[in-house]
Structure 1
Amino acid sequence: MAILDVTVERAKIGDGSSESESEAELGLGVRHLCDSGITTLPARYVLPPADRPGNPCSALLPVVDLAALRAGDPCQLAALHAACRDYGFFQLLNHGVPPDVGRAMLDAARRFFFDLPLPARARYMSADIRAAVRYGTSFNQLNDGVLSWRDFLKLLIRDTRRLADVVPFWPDAPEDLRPAAAAYARACQRVFRELMEAALDALGIVRCRGELLEECDGGSQMMMLNCFPACPEPELTLGMPPHSDYGMLTILLQDEVRGLEVSYGEGGGGWAVVEALPGAVVVNVGDHLEILSNGRYRSVLHRVRVNGRRARVSVASLHSLPAERVIGPAAELVDEQRDRPRRYMDTDMAAFLAYLASAEGKHKSFLHSRRINIISSCPD
Structure 2
Amino acid sequence: MKPTSSSQTAPPLPEKRVVVGCGGASVDFLATVASYPNPDDKIRSLSLKVEGGGNTGNALTGASRLGLTARIITKVANDTQGRSILQEFEADGVDTSHIVVSEGNSPFTYVIVDNQTKTRTCIHTPGSPPMVPEDLSQDSLISALENANLVYFDGRLPDTALVVAEEASRRKIPILIDCERKREGLDELLNLATYVVCSEKFPMAWTSAPSLASALVSMLIRLPNLKFVITTRGDKGSLMLERSRNDASEIVEKDVETLLESLQERVDGVVTLPTCISSKSDLRISADGIGAISGRLLAGTAEKIPHSELIDTTGAGDAFIAAVLYALCAKMPPEKMLPFASQVAAAGCRALGARSGLPWHNDPRLAPFWP
TM-score, normalising length: structure 1: 0.28
Structure with greater strand share of residues:
2
- The answer to which structure, 1 or 2, has the higher relative contact order (CA under 8 A, 6+ apart) is 1
TM-score, normalising length: structure 2: 0.29
